[in-house]
A and B are shown apart, each in its own frame.
Chain A
Amino acid sequence: MSKFKKKKGSDLPAINTASLPDIVFMLLFFFMVATVMRDSTLMVVNKLPAADQIQKLDKKDRVMYIYAGKPSSRYEDKYGSTARIQLNDKFATVSEVGAFILSERASKRQELQNVLTTSLKVDSDTKMGLIQDVKQELRKVGALKINYTTRIGEYTQNLK
C-alpha cells in the first residue's frame, strides 16, 4: 500500500475498470445469442464442393443432416476408406437412412413436420452412386426437399 501512496503526487490517474464487466457481459451476450452448438462430431472427411447459385438453408430446427464421405483418418483403420454415410454420431448403411429420417421427423414439432429439409453434406470426392442410393431412400420416406449443402465459391474449383 505504502508503495502506491508514494506515487500520489503524479498526475496520471488510474484507469477506472468498473465498466469492464459490462463490456465483457455485452460481448458475452452477443456470442451466447449467436452461438450454434455443433451437435454431432464429424467422423467423415467433409470438404464440401463449391457453388455460387446458392440459397440459404432454413432455420436449424427445420433441417435434418446427412453426412457422407470417406471415414476420417482416425477411423480409417477400423472402417476402411470407402465412402460412408454418417447419421448423428455413428456410421450407417443406406438402409438405415429411411428410419433415421422418420425418427428425426417424429422428434420435430407437429407444425414443422411438413416443411423439413434434408441437408446433404457430402464430401466432394464421393461417387454419385452412394448419393443416388440415399436419394432413393429419401424418396421412399417422402422427404423430398433436399439441399446439396455447399460452400460458397466458383464452380471451377470443383474441377481441379
Chain B
Amino acid sequence: MTEVPLDELGPVDYIVVEFPAGASSFTGEMAAELRALADSGTIRVIDVLILTKDADGTVEAAELSDIAELGELQAIEAELAELLAAEDVDNLAAAMEPGSTAGVLIWENLWAAPFASAVRRSGGQLIANGRIPIQAIIASIEAEQVTTTAGD
C-alpha cells in the first residue's frame, strides 16, 4: 500500500453490506464499480472483510484473498492496508442477521482529502458528520407534498 502522511489523509468511512441467506446475486457488477471508483482516484480501498454469521450466531471472517476468483478486485486486494483488527469482527457483525453474509468495506475518500487537509491547516476540527439516508429525504419530500396538498 502507498503510505499517506496522516495530515493528508482523507476521511475514512466504512460500510457493512448484508446479503441475506439465498438473496445474493453476484454478477461482478459491484466489483467493477468499486474498481472504477478506485481507478478514478475517487476512493482508496483500505480494507475488505467478508463475514458470515451462522444460524446460531457464530461469526466467521474471511480475507478478500480467500475468494477464489477475485477478478476486478485483484488489484484492490494487493493494496489493502489491513486496518481492521480481529477484535473488530464481532462489533461489525453485531448488525448482521443470523444466516447472512456481509461484506465490510473501508475506504478513504480521496476526493475529500485536499479539503480536509485545508480544514485542518486552518485550525478546523470535525465535530460531527453523518449521512442523510435517501429514505429520510423521501419522507421529508412526501411530508411536504402532503402539506402542500392539504393546503390547496
Do A and B actually bind? no
List the interface of chain B (C-beta within 8 A of A): none
